[in-house]
């Protein structure tokens, strides 16, 4: 009877074993899919949702945190680049490339300066909506053994240095406040895999493009290679503070609507939806407003002691949005100041 009972229960036992086996496979499959979840999520772009962390206080307007953004100190890089100018410029004069310094007559000096300015190569940014210009600086574009490149640590490499400006007219000197910044393109060889090293373009050109186009493409591909000019940043903030911010209708409307708080002076290159906050690298400065009025000046009427505070996180060039874009009214004022210091 026991044998017959076991035979009778055999189909049920087999069914239970098959069911447990299927459940085990289902669990393994679910675990495998669950394990692939983070890997699939990590492969998604992180730029689909923009919500930067923002901290406000009275002494420091903003403290920012942005994922995957590793900017170098603009002031430190500008100082190091200025040091390169101070070492390379005398070597050019020692080689006799500048004839105006060795000439004793004023006529020969003026003719030399006019010929050098006429031979300066200028390239207009092909797609920038308001106009950005690249001016070749011949006095900083030949080999100099005194200059050591910070990227490759090699000496004596031939390179071309470009001054980036809002003006189509080349600057009168390499320290002009009208220069937004500098880009150095080296003729050094690339890496072992054939790709140019960071901060360089192999043979001074990008494959398939002209040398001028390569400078523009290189600037957008390597924004860290752009060295901002502190004098231009000072000129920019001074112009906005004294002539632009106080008369801006959008900022005045925000002050009247919110009554009190802080308003941001934004770069126009980032299109913002209503109520959205710009990325920190696109915020030029911040200004306080109370009782519905912008506090650009102090009680004595001095704008330098008002609530206008520059944003140290602002960048003249970003990988996401490109070069600076100002409102037409602001751009006109800034260009007028640049012409006075060109």
Q: Which pLDDT score is estimated for 15?
A: 57
**How many structural domains are present in the chain?**
2
Report yes or no on 188 lying in a domain. yes
Report yes or no on 30 lying in a domain. no
Q: Which pLDDT score is estimated for 121?
A: 86
Structure tokens at 77: 């890089």
Q: Are residues 132 and 236 in the same domain?
A: no
Q: Print the domain residue range for 210.
A: 80-228
Residues recorded for the chain: 342
Q: Are residues 200 and 285 in the same domain?
A: no
pLDDT, tens digit, for every residue of 87-105?
333 334 434 444 344 343 4
Q: Are residues 96 and 205 in the same domain?
A: yes
Q: Are residues 266 and 211 in the same domain?
A: no
**Domain termination site, one of 191, 206, 228:** 228
pLDDT < 50 positions in the chain? 26-118, 143-153, 189-212
Q: Are residues 215 and 281 in the same domain?
A: no
pTM of the model: 0.58
**Domain termination site, one of 183, 203, 228:** 228
Report yes or no on 265 lying in a domain. yes
pLDDT, tens digit, for every residue of 215-244?
899 899 999 999 999 999 999 999 999 999
């Amino acid at each position: 009877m026991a044998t017959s009972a076991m035979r009778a229960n055999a189909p049920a036992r087999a069914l239970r074993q098959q069911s447990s086996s299927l459940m085990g496979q289902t669990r393994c499959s679910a675990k495998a899919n669950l394990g692939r979840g983070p890997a699939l999520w990590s492969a998604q772009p992180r730029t689909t949702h923009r919500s930067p962390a923002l901290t406000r206080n009275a002494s420091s307007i903003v403290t920012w945190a942005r994922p995957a953004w590793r900017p170098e100190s603009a002031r430190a890089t500008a100082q190091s680049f200025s040091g390169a100018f101070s070492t390379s410029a005398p070597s050019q004069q020692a080689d006799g490339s500048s004839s105006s310094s060795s000439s004793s007559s004023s006529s020969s000096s003026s003719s030399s300066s006019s010929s050098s300015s006429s031979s300066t190569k200028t390239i207009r940014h092909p797609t920038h909506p308001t106009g950005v210009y690249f001016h070749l600086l011949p006095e900083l574009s030949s080999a100099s053994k005194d200059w050591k490149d910070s990227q490759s640590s090699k000496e004596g490499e031939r390179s071309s240095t470009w001054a980036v400006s809002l003006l189509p007219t080349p600057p009168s000197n390499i320290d002009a406040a009208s220069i937004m910044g500098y880009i150095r393109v080296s003729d050094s060889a690339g890496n072992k895999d054939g790709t140019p090293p960071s901060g360089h373009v192999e043979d001074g050109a990008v494959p398939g493009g002209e040398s001028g186009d390569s400078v523009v493409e290189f600037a957008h591909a390597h924004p860290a290679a752009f060295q901002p000019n502190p004098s231009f940043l000072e000129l920019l903030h001074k112009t906005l503070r004294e002539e632009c911010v106080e008369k801006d209708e959008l900022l005045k409307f925000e002050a009247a609507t919110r009554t009190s708080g802080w308003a941001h002076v934004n770069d126009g290159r980032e299109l913002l939806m209503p109520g959205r906050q710009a990325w920190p690298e696109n915020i030029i400065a911040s200004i306080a407003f109370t009782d519905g009025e912008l506090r650009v000046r102090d009680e004595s009427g001095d704008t330098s002691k008002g609530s206008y505070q520059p944003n140290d996180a602002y960048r003249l060039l970003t990988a996401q949005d490109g070069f600076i874009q100002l409102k037409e009214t602001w751009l006109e004022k800034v260009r007028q100041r640049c012409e006075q210091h060109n």
